[in-house]
Every structure is written in C-alpha cells, then in structure tokens.
C-alpha cells in the first residue's frame, strides 16, 4: 500500500476506535491492538515527517510548552445563563416564555456540567483552534492543551466549511480521585474538586502536563455553522453527535411542569454521572424563537440554569477513627450511620484536623449534619447538641502515630499532625517512591507502580530492602520479566554511589530538598559528621534556618531513622559527598538559567555554579546576579533585559569557570 494511504487509513481507524473507547465507552478491540495501531502510525510518521499533520492522533501528546496564552476574540459570544434556585422561579420563567411567545413552544432540559467552558473551531472538518470562555467576548487560546483531550475529535465527518462548537471540559470523578491519590503519594497539596482540577490542567503552559490529566469534554451547543440551517437546538445536538462529538444528554419537554420533573430526576441521578453536575439547564428548543427573544446585556432570555442546593442530611457518629496518610498526616474521620447523600451512601465523613474537631465540638454519639464538599467528599457541617447523649467526652488526636508508635509533631504552618517516622507502614509507598525519584537516588525504572508492586508482594518494606533484592524476585512481578528486572537491579546497584547530597534528599526530611541537601553535603562531607551536629551548628550554615535545623536533628534522633541508616550502611550505600568544592568565586551570586545550552544540561550547569559557591534560582528578580541564556531563551531573558540583569552566553560562562 502507498505510505500516505496507509497513514490516512491508520488515522481513520485509530480515530474510530478512540471514539468508541473515549466517547461511547464501547471498545471493539483490545488495548494492545489499539497500541499496535498507534505504534505503526508513529513509525510511519517518523520515517516520513513530511506527512505528519496537526490532526493526526499522534499529535495528542501535546506540543512544545507555551510561554503564555494568546487572547482570542469569540466570533459568537459565549454567554452565561441566569441562575434560578427554586421550582417557583422555573415556573416563573415558563410564564415569561408564554407571554413573550405567541406560538407553541417546547423546551430542552440538560444537565449542567461543572467544568470549564470552551469554544471549538473547525475548518473543513479539522480542529484549528480552541479557547476558554474568558469574559464571554474574549478568551485564551488553549488549542495545544485541547488537542490532548482524547474525547475531542481532531477531524470530523460530514462537516461544513466552518463550524464553532461550545463544550465543557471536565475531569471525571474517577480521574480526580486517582490524581489526588497520586498527589498524596508525592506529598503534593490535594486538589479541591474536579472543576478546579480541570481548569488548572487546561491552563498548564506545558501541554504534556495537560495530557497527563486525562481530561474529557462534552459538547452542548452549536455556536456557528456555515452549512445548512437547523430548526431546533436538539437537531444541532443530534448533528454534532453524528459528526463524532460527545454530546450532553437532553430531554425534550412540552411544558415547564415536564421540565421540573426532568430536573428532579437529574438531581436524583447526579451520582451516576461520570462528571460533576451542579444544576440543570432549561432552554427554548426552537432556534428561530431564540433569535426572536434575544438576550439582555448579561444573558439570553430563552434559557435559565437551575442550581441544585447542596444536599444535607443528619446521621449519628458511631466512632471517630484516625488514619495516617501517605505523607504522614494524621486525619480524623467520623464513622457515621449509613445515609444516602447526593447519589451515594455515606458511612464516613472527614473531620480534617484537631482544630476543626474543637470548632465543631464533635463527639462520639453526636447527631451531625452532613454535606458533600464539592459534591465529592462528605464532611460534617454542624453538631445537633440538643440530641447529644449524656456522658460524651471531647475527642483528642493521639500524640503518637497509631500505625507505628512514633511521636507526631504539629506543622509549624498549619493544623496538621504528622508522623515523624521514615519507616511508618502508612507512608511506605510515598517514602519509597521519593527515595527512588530523579531528584533523590535517581533509580531509573522504579516508579510508583513498581514501588507499589514491590510493597504489595512483601519484597520491600523500606528503602533499605531495595539493596537486597534479587533479579529472580523482581522478574516475578507483574509487567516485569527478566530483562526489566535486570535493568532495575542494575539501577539500584548504581544508586549505592549516588553520594551524600542525593541520599539526604532521599531521606525526605522536611524542608530538606535538593538545594539544602547539597549545602549540607558540601559543608559536612560525611553523613556521620552531619548526624553529630546540633541545631546551633546547623543554623550557622547558609540557607539552614532554625526550623529546618530542628527538622534535621529531630529526624536523625528518631530510632527508626537510625535503623534505616544502619541498614543502608550495611548495604554499602555511600555516605560521603561527591561534591568537590573548587573555590568560592561565585559566593553570594545567584544565577538563573534559561534556554537550551549546547554543552551542559541544566543540572550540570547548576552543579558547576554550586561547586564554586553560587546559587541557582528559577525566576528572575532584581536580586539575580546573572542570567545564563542558551538557545530559544524565553520570557526569563526578556525580564532580565528589562531589569538590567547581566546576561551571560555559554561562552562567557565558560570563561568564568576556567
């Protein structure tokens, strides 16, 4: 077959199966078969780069990172809707429509998806631009990020010359929970709700990050079409579905009373949707009638959005349990009598921390009012003290970790209590993944999934266990095999010589990241010397304050930390610094790196600067000493020029380090 024809056939087949999988949830082939199709297309496009097109399925991974989002003026304004909060207001809307429209009219009712509104532009069937709603008149160009949304068709069939569609980008509840679980493992702040997560993902400057967030889209309006006109809104939705768009479910209703019944039904079904809905939309279906009704300065007259009130129900607290998260934070949870709330059965509710418990004065046996925060996480709103039984006592979080018995400490900048043990069973996955991470011991091939497999198999409990693994043991894990196992064991062996700076970062001591670890390694040169240092000595070191010094000494004083260290020593892990301090010519100077250097990676250039006593920073300010600029330097170079910060070429930098 001709290469170009094979490429085009592969693209059509992949898009067909993508729609079945991501839009209709009805796959016809296995994941493996789909991957093989994609691999074949990638191979052909690599061999024939002149045949790569912007609408190819291979381009969904995201292009180059952007420095900013360009403004986009919407050809058709993306109007917002008037909110109503009661059925009485819905009937009042119906009466207005009756008075304004002399002829018969019908309505359309749709769930109101709680996501991020987008304008999608197509030319001759090809997706060419996407923009956020913004203020309705002007939005931001997020085309590259939208290309990563698997359920968005990059090419559509039977398309008019020009088409503009309005959709809602969302993060599914399942993906949101998965993302938060991963952030918890990595010690990152948890995201508040799926809508915020979707909005933050869509505004990432690097499309590859947006791609990793597994966003989806549902389309709910045809903004503009150069093709044949339509008579009703529901006809446009049917047409969009035929073109390959994922379309919002709708119900046609002849009377407002039927709309109200449908809205009640949607409210009861809220928990069954893959996405969050915060209301329902009622619209006049006829496009001609819509045009006659027009819009006010703020919203169309022909539609309103009914907002569901947060559902609240009472239940009784059976117990208060304390769980230890993967970052060591102790989280209290109220175990309650099961109650149906916002579409699911709730049997537990978060209490957040001791401060919140004290504020609510919640006790075992209390009757409490529950609500789902962001329609996802059950929480206690208040305590009905009139129903409090006699003999209840205030609840206090424990002073030792319920998982491992180590002391707990309160965050100096918050209300959280945290376990101090590096070997706490509840923190195993997070600690192991961090130990192996690129900025720490840099064990290639030891990602989250492999760490989880090692822990679940019983082969690894702490990082020290890695150094006694045998290739045959690892080969038996899911998705490993002999070759992968051999590579992983080799990477683990290599990490024995990673050096003190990486080891200190790998320990996960609070406020001791890469930079502080390098400073400590350069100052002490040896782990035993650091362990013998007191808080006062540590505070004399640049960049090590009193709080960080307290975290360091506290960590080394923990018996479980000592046990981990001795096991690593026995395994032959290097406790000495690899950093060779040359001289202090860059002492007191701060460098910012931007662009692509020809002879050095960013990490290599940073290490050289630090070996001469200098520091590196991620952003340019008046305090920046030099900006080291390579090819394709971006906004940092522009800012440096505006502030008058000296700019070094790579050649000038090399002159300074001779």
User: Which stretches within 477-584 are classed as H helix?
Assistant: 481-495, 500-507, 514-524, 527-531, 535-539, 546-557, 559-570
Is position 112 annotated as part of the catalytic site? yes
Which two three-digit tokens encode residue 395? 């609840």
Q: Residue 323's beta-bridge partner residues?
A: 331
- Contact in structure between 519 and 539 (CB atoms under 8 Å): no
Strands 162-170 and 116-123, how do they pair?
antiparallel
Determine contact, residues 128/41, Cβ cutoff 8 Å.
no
Contact (Cβ atoms closer than 8 angstroms) between residue 47 and residue 265? no
Contacts of 159 (CB under 8 A, 6+ apart): 122, 124, 125, 227, 243
Q: Measuring CA to CA, how many Å separate 263 from each of 221, 253, 275, 282, 305?
A: 19, 11, 17, 9, 10
**C-alpha to C-alpha distance for 533 and 196, rounded to whole angstroms:** 44
Q: Which residue has the tokens 């900025």?
A: 439
The set of residues, in sequence order, having a beta carbon less than 8 Å from that of 266 and lying 6+ positions away, is 109, 111, 277, 280
* Strand locations in 143-215 (E): 162-170
Token match 């819905």: residue? 90
CA angle 49, 50, 54 (to 5 degrees): 85
Which two three-digit tokens encode residue 467? Answer: 């150094």
Please pick, among 5, 42, 43, 112, the residue that the annotation labels catalytic. Answer: 112
Tell me the C-alpha distance between 332 and 349, whole Å.
9
78 vs 300: CA distance, rounded Å:
10
Task: Give the tokens for residue 491.
Answer: 């990477």
Q: Report the distance separating Cα 262 and Cα 267, nearest Å.
A: 9
**Is residue 128 a contact partner of residue 163, using CB atoms and an 8 Å limit?**
no
Q: What radius of gyration, in Å, describes the C-alpha atoms of the chain?
A: 29
Instruction: Round to whole Å and give the CA distance between 458 and 461.
Output: 7
d(Cα 470, Cα 447) in Å, to the nearest integer? 18
Tokens coding 311: 């559902």
- Please name the residue ranges forming H helices in 186-255: 194-202, 207-212, 233-243
CA 643 to CA 407: how far, in whole Å? 48
**Residue found under tokens 């045809």:** 222
Residues annotated catalytic, as ranges? 112
């Amino acid at each position: 077959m001709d290469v170009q024809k094979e490429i085009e056939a592969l693209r059509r087949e992949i898009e067909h199966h993508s729609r079945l999988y991501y839009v209709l949830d009805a796959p016809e082939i296995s994941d493996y078969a789909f991957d093989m199709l994609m691999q074949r297309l990638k191979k052909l496009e690599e061999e024939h780069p002149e045949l790569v097109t912007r609408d190819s399925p291979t381009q969904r991974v995201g292009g180059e990172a952007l420095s900013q989002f360009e403004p986009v003026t919407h050809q058709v304004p993306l109007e917002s809707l008037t909110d109503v909060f009661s059925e009485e207001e819905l009937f009042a809307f119906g009466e207005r429509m009756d008075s304004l429209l002399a002829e018969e009219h019908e309505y359309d009712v749709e769930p109101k998806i709680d996501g991020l509104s987008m304008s999608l532009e197509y030319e001759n069937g090809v997706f060419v631009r996407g923009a956020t709603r913004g203020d309705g008149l002007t939005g931001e160009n997020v085309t590259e990020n939208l290309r990563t949304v698997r359920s968005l068709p990059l090419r559509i069939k039977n398309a008019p010359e020009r088409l503009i569609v309005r959709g809602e980008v969302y993060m599914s509840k399942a993906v949101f929970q998965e993302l938060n679980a991963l952030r918890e493992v990595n010690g990152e702040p948890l995201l508040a709700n799926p809508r915020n997560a979707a909005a933050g993902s869509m505004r990432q400057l690097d499309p590859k990050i947006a791609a990793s967030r597994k966003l989806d889209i549902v389309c709910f309006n045809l903004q503009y079409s150069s093709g044949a006109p339509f008579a009703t809104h529901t006809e446009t939705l049917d047409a969009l579905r035929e073109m390959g768009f994922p379309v919002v479910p709708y119900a046609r209703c002849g009377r407002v009373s039927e709309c109200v019944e449908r809205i009640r039904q949607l409210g009861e079904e809220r928990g069954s949707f893959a996405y969050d809905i915060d209301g329902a939309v009622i619209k006049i279906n006829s496009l001609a009638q819509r045009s006659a009704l027009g819009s006010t300065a703020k919203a169309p007259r022909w539609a309103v959005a009914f907002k569901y009130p947060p559902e609240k129900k009472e239940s009784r607290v059976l117990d208060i349990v304390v769980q230890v998260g993967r970052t060591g934070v102790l989280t209290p949870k109220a175990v309650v009598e099961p109650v149906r709330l916002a579409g699911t059965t709730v049997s537990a509710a978060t209490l957040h921390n001791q401060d919140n418990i004290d504020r609510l004065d919640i006790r075992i046996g209390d009757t409490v009012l529950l609500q789902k925060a962001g329609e996802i996480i059950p929480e206690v709103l208040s305590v009905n003290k009139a129903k409090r039984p006699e003999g209840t006592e205030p609840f206090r979080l424990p002073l030792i970790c319920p998982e491992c018995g180590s002391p707990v400490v309160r965050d100096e900048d918050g209300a959280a209590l945290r376990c101090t043990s590096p070997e706490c069973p509840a923190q195993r996955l997070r600690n192991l993944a961090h130990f192996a991470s690129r900025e720490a011991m840099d064990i290639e091939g030891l990602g989250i999934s492999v760490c989880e497999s090692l822990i679940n198999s019983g082969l690894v409990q702490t990082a020290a266990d890695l150094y006694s693994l045998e290739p045959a043991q690892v080969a038996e894990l899911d998705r490993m095999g002999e070759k992968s196992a051999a590579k992983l064991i080799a990477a683990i062996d290599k990490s024995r010589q990673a050096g003190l700076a990486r080891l200190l970062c790998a320990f996960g001591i609070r406020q001791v990241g890469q930079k502080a670890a390098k400073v400590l390694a350069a100052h002490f040169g040896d782990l035993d010397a650091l362990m013998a240092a007191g808080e006062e000595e540590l505070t004399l070191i640049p960049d090590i304050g009193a709080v960080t010094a307290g975290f360091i000494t506290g960590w080394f004083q923990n018996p479980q930390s000592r046990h981990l260290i001795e096991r690593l020593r026995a395994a032959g892990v290097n406790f000495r610094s690899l950093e060779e301090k040359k001289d202090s010519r860059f002492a007191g100077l701060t460098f910012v790196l931007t662009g692509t250097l020809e002879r050095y990676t960013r990490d290599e250039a940073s290490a050289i600067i630090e070996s001469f006593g200098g520091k590196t920073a991620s952003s340019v300010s008046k305090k920046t000493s030099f900006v080291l600029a390579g090819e394709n330097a971006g906004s940092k170079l522009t800012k440096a020029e505006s502030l008058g910060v000296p700019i070094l070429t790579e050649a000038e930098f090399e002159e300074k380090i001779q």
